[in-house]
Amino acid sequence: MKHSPFDIWLFDPQDLHAEQDEALKQHLAECDSCRALAEAWQAAEAGMLASEAMAPEPGFAHRWQQRLALARSKRRRRQTWAVLAGTIGGALVLTPIISLRLWALLAAPGEAALAWLDRLQILTLNLEALRGFVAIVLQSLQGLSVLWWVALGLGALWISGLWAGLLYRIAFKIIPNGVSR
Ligand SMILES: [Zn+2]
């Protein structure tokens, strides 16, 4: 069956002359494939008209909000990862230093052990103070989202790591003739 020119006409039936319109109607009555095409086109056209009539505002605003939330959570995740990387990096730097010092202590016990007891006491007192501080902060920060808790926890870890490193250095500098050998 010859479909031309009906397969073109069916896209714009309102522009046809009366005899063309008649011929198209006759062809559509006989031809299944052109009728299917015409019906699909009418449905698509109706859908386009309906979506044009719909106000774009609600969908647009919703998408915009979603994108904003996504960007926010991405940024928060990046910050969390940065804090985590910093914490791990700090631990990686501190661990060998502390291990070396401990090894030196084990190699030269006696006097060094006494000096270490002093330092341990200072450290314990400071840790007690830190624990009290953390307890107060935790009490005042109830009702936050999980992500914030994770970020805060990692931040606290990072700060404690810094503090521990600082205390460690101070402790080793305060006492003269310490473990150094
Ligand atoms: Zn046809």
Find the 15 Cα to ligand 1 centroid distance in Å. 19
CA of 34 to the centre of ligand 1 (A): 4
Tell me the DSSP string of 108-144.
S-THHHHHHHHHHHHHHHHHHHHHHHHHHHHHHTTT-
At position 17, the amino acid (one-letter code) is: H
Residues 6+ apart with CB under 8 A from 155: 83
Domain count of the chain?
Answer: 2
81 and 49 within one domain: no
What are the pLDDT digits (tens) for 41-93? 888 888 777 776 665 566 666 777 778 788 888 877 777 787 778 778 877 77
Q: Which domain holds residue 25?
A: 6-53
In a domain? residue 67: no
Asked if residue 99 and residue 162 are part of one domain, the reply reads yes
Q: What is the pTM of this model?
A: 0.30
Is the pLDDT at 178 greater than 60? The verdict is no
Domain annotation covers residue 64: no
Q: For residues 34 and 113, state if they share a domain.
A: no
Query: Ligand 1 being an ion, which residues bring their Cβ within 5 A of it?
Result: 3, 31, 34
